[in-house]
């Protein structure tokens, strides 16, 4: 074997090892109830805004806190506390929400939301931390 | 349904579509002609020549048609012909003219057109310059052009299979069956278009997409030249043009990517220039592999080694461009990307899959066909040779690219994982950390190699000389790294390594350029590029490592994030601060005061918020520094929506940037809680209290100097002379006008005091006697507590190092290019 081949092989092995090790970084999509089982861990929960219940954002008392109710795919509902600021644009029009966060008691503490909007002409958007 | 409709302009669409069909057919014909020219080149040169002529002509027609498509679509958009779906969905009447071009790249079809356009122009340049390589290269380029044209063809095969989508489709065809189209004059009801996404209404978005697409388009040349070389098994001629075009492509694509970063930095509020977003990754990866290819082809030119791997790199670069298109255009990224284009459905998905598979089969087929017979050198290279380490560096770049694209392709392979384990895979919770953890190592290796390899020579290097030079560079780099690391408090060990490695790249290239190359300008291309690349890495490290919010909020409850300490908890959820009108709030070292906005009712939808930043010297209580920032936002960008779309504003210093954007603002058109209150002023000197301040009536003025008032025929204007005091005791003057004619009310002109949010109107003048009249004033003042913005402010240290680094890299590429084009067939690009 040539030196270059050995070097290349070595690089590939290291790269695969590294990538596999970092594979553990990948998260999973969960429901509220499955996320509840690991309350300290961050997950993604796919759900929908409960339009029947009030959303609440009052910048004067806390500009970083926005709460609303969401149902997950299994139909369970939780109050979501978004801690990165104001309500996202078009939230009430969204047809699906991907929320990043963890369960704390009966609330879901959320640091990032990505919305899927019904209009195909509009980009989906994310607020808070990148999802 | 009626068949005739009123007011439609069908001609531009028909012309445009005709051009599309012409462009498609012409490129197919050109491909065929060039192919025939290749086939007959050796056997029958005269026949080959006539085929060549046909190929050129048809490619010319193709290029002309592409320009025609552009003109037709531009006409449609510029004239607001909303009967066309493209104009309706991507533009609107109030769109500023400078953004008309941006409408092209908001949509799928327009950005394909941009790509076709650039490749057509590049094809013309190749036609003029490629000489004996022309026939083979142009066959490939014309083929790709034909394939790209199918993307905008928009024809149906049978009822279900649609190939491409044309930008000239009519609104009524796009939305068949909608009730509005049952009336012939439906256009009377389509008053305005959907408008351009507000985040694209930014000057960077006018120039970033064309440059990026030019970069993508340019990668076709190394690809086509590689295939041309493989086709004939002739590996001599293609080297020089391939290096030249790879340099150009690398410079342009790199610039385009960083322009995207600059756009994200200046107009998106995700807080930075790079977020490892799939769309960003998808453009970075081809650049990495392209740069890998650039280095291996340089090795090949000097040592005749590394030819097969060069083909692999250059071919994969172009295939990766297509794969990026697949990732970002088909909607497959859906859940994972902020700014992926929304999908055009299944049709495009399979269309692109077929195209990529086709190109893959073609290029790998050729590569495999020639693999065994490619020239190779039997003896091994020396361990201390430039070619060996350049090869290693290129391989590392390629592996980094593969790692990025693998992670980015999560939605592609996630279904497979689900089948096996039943788990629904999601991106890492902290995406940025995930990528940084991996690629800090790539940066460390690349940093070291870009410094060290320059000291080496092709074939073999004298170890003593090499190590002396490397030791000098390492010593200086260590000093520099320690200085920076200490002052910037870089403590994490991986990043300390990276700091040293980038310093080594910087110092090494400087030292090599001065001590070895003796600053001979034409030889400084690689040195400059490596120096700039070191600066880029350093800028990334410094600006990202110590990027921090300064807008901590101190009100509201603290939520528990299990971070263990109060400071970390606060960091987690206190990054937005509320600024009430006129009240200074501490933001970092500054006192930030929100002092008004640019909102004008019914005018521009973009509102600028004026925020004054002041630094006080605590000893003397004096303002030592003061500046204004104007972060802006579209409030309710499309009618009755919740929330806003914000653009940041940034204060640039040499050493850092202060980056601010609005997260929330009062929508005064909706939530203005104040209403007009009536105040009766009986006589001169009467005083009344306002929500924040008070006003004094100084009597009536008849001598009107208000520029808004144009004296009309026999009408009379009277002003109420008011002095209004704010809470700080500062005086303001207001003179609302009342205009009447023959004792009949005509109009009034309000006066406003922006700084106090006061709107005063002289509503009526009640005349009691000849010389006594009292004023009925209507005044409203928004309670300062109802006028606020929610602001986020971040500090990016030394971000300028990054931007300057990018410019230096590109400059280095062009020095190399100039030397390559000017030099007389010198075998080596860099000599000692």
Q: Which of A96-105, B211-220, B330-339 has the lowest mean pLDDT?
A: B330-339
State yes or no: pLDDT of B98 exceeds 90: no
State yes or no: pLDDT of B280 exceeds 80: yes
**pLDDT tens digits for range B590-638:** 999 998 887 665 555 778 899 999 988 878 878 889 999 999 887 765 5
Chains A, B: CB contacts under 8 A, how many? 176
Q: Whole-angstrom Cα distance, residue B736 to residue B739?
A: 10
Partner residue opposite B664 with nearest CB, options A59, A125, A130: A59
Is A3 a member of any domain? Answer: no
Interface contact flag, A90 B643, Cβ < 8 Å: yes
**pLDDT tens digits for range B425-474:** 888 888 888 999 999 999 999 999 999 999 999 988 889 999 999 999 99
The mean pLDDT value of chain B amounts to 86
Q: Which of A50-54, B171-175, B379-383 has the lowest mean pLDDT?
A: B171-175
Is the separation of the CB atoms in B473 and B481 below 8 Å?
no
Is A57 a member of any domain? Answer: yes
Distance of CA B10 to the CA centre of its chain: 34
Confidence of residue B506 (pLDDT cuts 50, 70, 90): very high
| Residue B827: predicted pLDDT | 47
Residue B614: its H or E element: strand B606-617
Shortest distance between the Cα of B662 and any Cα of chain A, in A, equals 10
Is A17 a member of any domain? Answer: no
State yes or no: pLDDT of B378 exceeds 60: yes
Surface of A (82-121) touching B: CB under 8 A: 83-93, 98, 100, 104, 109, 111, 114, 116, 120-121
The single-letter DSSP state of residue B515 is I
Q: Whole-angstrom Cα distance, residue B695 to residue B703?
A: 21
Q: Whole-angstrom Cα distance, residue B77 to residue B61?
A: 24
B767-787: average pLDDT: 78
Measured between CB atoms, does A77 come within 8 Å of chain B? Answer: no
Beta bridge partners, B656, equal: B797
B668-692: average pLDDT: 76
**pLDDT tens digits for range B745-761:** 778 888 888 777 788 88
Number of CB atoms found within 10 A of residue B474's CB? 20
Distance of CA B760 to the CA centre of its chain: 44
| Residue B830: predicted pLDDT | 42
Residue B720: its H or E element: strand B716-725
Selected for mutation to probe chain B from A28, A59, A114 (highest B CB count within 10 Å) is A59
pTM, whole model, 2 decimals?
A: 0.86
Instruction: Look up residue B512 and give its two tokens.
Output: 């090599």
B393: left (phi over 0), alpha (psi -120 to 50) or beta: alpha
Selected for mutation to probe chain B from A14, A24, A26 (highest B CB count within 10 Å) is A26
Distant-in-sequence, close-in-space partners of B428: CB < 8 Å, separation ≥ 6: A25, A26, A27, B434
Q: Which of B447-461, B471-485, B666-680 holds the top average pLDDT?
A: B471-485
Is A123 a member of any domain? Answer: yes
| Residue B716: predicted pLDDT | 82
Q: How far is CA B206 from CA A15, B100, B306, B320, B381, in A?
A: 38, 9, 40, 25, 48
Partner residue opposite B553 with nearest CB, options A43, A57, A63: A63
Is A21 a member of any domain? Answer: no
Rounded to 10°, the helix B239-267/B220-232 angle is 160
Is the separation of the CB atoms in A96 and A118 below 8 Å?
no
**What CATH number does residue A65 fall under?**
2.40.50.140
Is the separation of the CB atoms in B83 and B170 below 8 Å?
yes
**pLDDT tens digits for range A61-93:** 788 888 999 998 888 899 998 888 777 777 777
B131-151: average pLDDT: 96
| Residue B2: predicted pLDDT | 47
DSSP string for residues in B64-129: HHHHHHHHHHHHHHHTT-TTBHHHHHH--TT--GGGHHHHHHHSHHHHHHHHHHHHHHHHHHHHHH
Measured between CB atoms, does A60 come within 8 Å of chain B? Answer: yes
Q: Whole-angstrom Cα distance, residue B664 to residue B662?
A: 6
Shortest distance between the Cα of A2 and any Cα of chain B, in A, equals 7
Q: Residue B118 half-sphere exposure, CB side, CA atoms within 13 Å?
A: 21
State yes or no: pLDDT of B339 exceeds 50: no
Is the separation of the CB atoms in B101 and B117 below 8 Å?
no
Is A49 a member of any domain? Answer: yes
Instruction: Look up residue B645 and give its two tokens.
Output: 């779309």
Is A106 a member of any domain? Answer: yes
Rounded to 10°, the helix B346-371/B307-329 angle is 180
Q: A120 to chain B: nearest residue by CA? A: B342
Q: Domain containing A106: what range? A: 27-128
Percent of chain B with pLDDT over 90: 46
Q: Whole-angstrom Cα distance, residue B405 to residue B283?
A: 10
Confidence of residue B338 (pLDDT cuts 50, 70, 90): very low
Is the separation of the CB atoms in A50 and A69 below 8 Å?
yes
Residues comprising chain A, all counted: 131
Total number of domains in chain A: 1
**pLDDT tens digits for range B300-316:** 999 999 999 999 999 99
Q: Which residue has the higher pLDDT, B50 or B648?
A: B50
Cα angle B133-B138-B140, degrees, rounded to a multiple of 5: 110
Is A8 a member of any domain? Answer: no
| Residue A121: predicted pLDDT | 37
Shortest distance between the Cα of A124 and any Cα of chain B, in A, equals 7
Q: Which residue has the higher pLDDT, B477 or B715?
A: B477
Partner residue opposite A131 with nearest CB, options B89, B425, B427: B427
DSSP string for residues in A51-109: TTSPPEE-TTT-TT-EEEEEEETTS-EEEEEE-SSSPPTTGGG-SEEEEEEEEETTEEE
Is the separation of the CB atoms in B657 and B548 below 8 Å?
no
Distance of CA B352 to the CA centre of its chain: 24
B55-71: average pLDDT: 96
Confidence of residue B741 (pLDDT cuts 50, 70, 90): confident
Measured between CB atoms, does A51 come within 8 Å of chain B? Answer: no
Q: B427 to chain A: nearest residue by CA? A: A26
Percent of chain B with pLDDT over 70: 91
| Residue B183: predicted pLDDT | 79
| Residue B829: predicted pLDDT | 44
């Amino acid at each position: 074997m040539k030196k270059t081949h050995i070097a290349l092989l070595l690089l590939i092995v290291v790269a695969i090892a590294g990538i596999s090790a970092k594979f553990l970084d990948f998260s999973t999509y969960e429901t509220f109830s499955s996320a509840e089982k690991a309350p300290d861990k961050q997950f993604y929960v796919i759900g929908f805004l409960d339009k029947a219940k009030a959303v609440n954002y009052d910048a004067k008392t806390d500009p970083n806190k926005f709460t609303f109710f969401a149902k997950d795919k299994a139909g369970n509902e939780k109050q979501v506390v978004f801690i990165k600021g104001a309500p996202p644009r078009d939230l009430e029009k969204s047809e699906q929400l991907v929320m990043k966060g963890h369960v704390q008691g009966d609330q879901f503490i959320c640091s990032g939301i990505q919305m899927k909007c019904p209009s195909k002409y509009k980009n989906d958007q994310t607020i808070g931390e990148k999802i | 349904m009626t068949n005739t409709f009123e007011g439609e302009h069908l001609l531009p669409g028909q012309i445009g579509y005709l051009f599309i069909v012409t462009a498609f057919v012409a490129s197919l014909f050109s491909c065929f002609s060039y192919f025939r020219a290749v086939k007959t080149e050796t056997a029958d040169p005269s026949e080959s020549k006539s085929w060549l002529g046909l190929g050129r002509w048809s490619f010319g027609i193709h290029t002309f048609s592409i320009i025609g498509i552009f003109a037709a679509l531009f006409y449609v958009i510029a004239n607001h012909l909303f009967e066309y779906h493209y104009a309706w969905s991507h533009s609107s009447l109030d769109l500023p003219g400078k953004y008309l071009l941006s409408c092209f790249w908001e949509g799928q079809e327009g950005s394909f057109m941009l790509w076709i356009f650039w490749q057509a122009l590049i094809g013309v340049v190749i036609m003029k310059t490629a000489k004996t390589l022309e026939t083979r290269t142009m066959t490939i380029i014309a083929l790709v052009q034909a394939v790209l044209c199918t993307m905008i063809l928009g024809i149906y095969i049978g009822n279900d299979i649609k190939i491409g989508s044309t930008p000239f489709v009519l609104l009524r065809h796009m939305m068949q069956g909608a009730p509005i189209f049952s009336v012939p004059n439906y256009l009377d009801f389509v008053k305005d278009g959907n408008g351009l996404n507000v985040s694209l209404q930014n000057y960077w978005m006018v120039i970033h997409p064309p440059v990026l697409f030019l970069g993508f388009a340019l990668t076709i040349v190394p690809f086509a030249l590689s295939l041309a070389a493989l086709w004939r098994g002739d590996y001599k001629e293609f080297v020089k043009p391939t290096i030249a075009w790879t340099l150009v492509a690398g410079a342009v694509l790199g610039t385009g990517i960083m322009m995207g970063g600059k756009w994200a930095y200046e107009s998106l509020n995700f807080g930075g220039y790079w977020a490892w977003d799939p769309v960003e990754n998808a453009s970075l990866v081809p650049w990495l592999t392209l740069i890998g290819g650039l280095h291996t082809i340089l090795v090949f030119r000097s040592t005749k080694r590394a030819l097969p791997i060069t083909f692999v790199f250059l071919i994969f670069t172009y295939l990766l461009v297509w794969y990026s298109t697949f990732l970002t255009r088909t909607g497959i990224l859906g859940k994972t990307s902020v700014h992926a284009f929304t999908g055009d459905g299944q049709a495009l998905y399979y269309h692109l899959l077929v195209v990529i598979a086709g190109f893959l089969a073609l290029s790998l087929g050729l590569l495999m066909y020639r693999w065994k017979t490619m020239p190779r050198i039997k003896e091994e290279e020396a361990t201390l040779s430039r070619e060996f380490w350049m090869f290693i560096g290129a391989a590392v770049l390629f592996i980094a690219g593969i790692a990025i694209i693998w992670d980015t392709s999560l939605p592609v392979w996630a279904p497979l994982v689900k089948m096996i384990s039943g788990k629904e895979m999601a991106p890492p919770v902290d995406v940025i950390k995930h990528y940084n953890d991996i690629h800090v190592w790539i940066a460390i290796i690349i940093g070291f190699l870009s410094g060290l390899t320059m000291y080496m020579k092709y074939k073999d290097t004298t170890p003593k000389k090499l190590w002396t030079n490397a030791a000098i560079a390492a010593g200086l780099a260590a000093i520099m790294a320690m200085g920076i690391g200490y002052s910037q408090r870089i403590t994490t060990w991986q990043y300390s390594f990276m700091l040293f490695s980038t310093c080594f790249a910087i110092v090494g290239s400087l030292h090599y350029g001065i001590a070895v190359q003796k600053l001979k300008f034409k030889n400084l291309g690689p040195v400059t590029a490596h120096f700039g690349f070191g600066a880029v890495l350093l800028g990334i490290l410094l600006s990202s490592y110590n990027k921090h919010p300064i807008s901590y909020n101190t009100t509201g409850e603290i939520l528990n994030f299990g971070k263990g300490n109060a400071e970390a908890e606060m960091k987690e959820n206190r990054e937005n601060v509320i600024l009430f009108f006129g009240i200074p709030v501490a933001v970092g070292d500054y006192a930030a005061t929100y002092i008004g906005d640019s909102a004008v009712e019914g005018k521009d939808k973009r509102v600028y918020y004026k925020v004054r930043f002041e630094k006080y010297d605590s000893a003397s209580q004096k303002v030592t520094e003061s500046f204004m920032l104007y972060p802006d936002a579209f409030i309710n960008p499309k009618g009755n929506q919740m929330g806003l779309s914000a653009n940041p504003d940034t204060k640039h210093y040499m050493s850092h940037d202060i980056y601010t954007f609005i997260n929330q603002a009062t929508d005064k058109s909706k939530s203005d809680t104040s209403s007009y209150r009536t105040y009766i002023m009986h006589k001169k000197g009467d005083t009344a209290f306002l929500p924040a301040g008070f006003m004094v009536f100084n009597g009536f003025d008849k001598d009107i100097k208000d520029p808004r008032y144009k004296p009309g025929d026999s009408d009379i204007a009277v002003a109420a002379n008011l002095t209004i005091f704010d809470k700080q005791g500062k005086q303001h003057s207001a003179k609302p006008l009342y205009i009447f004619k023959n004792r009949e009310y005509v109009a009034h002109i309000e006066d406003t005091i922006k700084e106090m949010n006061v709107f005063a109107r002289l509503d009526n003048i009640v005349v009691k006697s000849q010389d006594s009249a009292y004023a009925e004033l209507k005044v409203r003042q928004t309670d300062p507590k109802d006028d606020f913005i929610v602001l986020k402010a971040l500090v990016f240290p030394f971000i300028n190092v990054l931007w300057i680094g990018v410019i230096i890299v590109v400059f280095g590429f062009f020095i190399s290019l100039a030397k390559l084009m000017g030099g007389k067939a010198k075998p080596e690009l860099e000599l000692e």
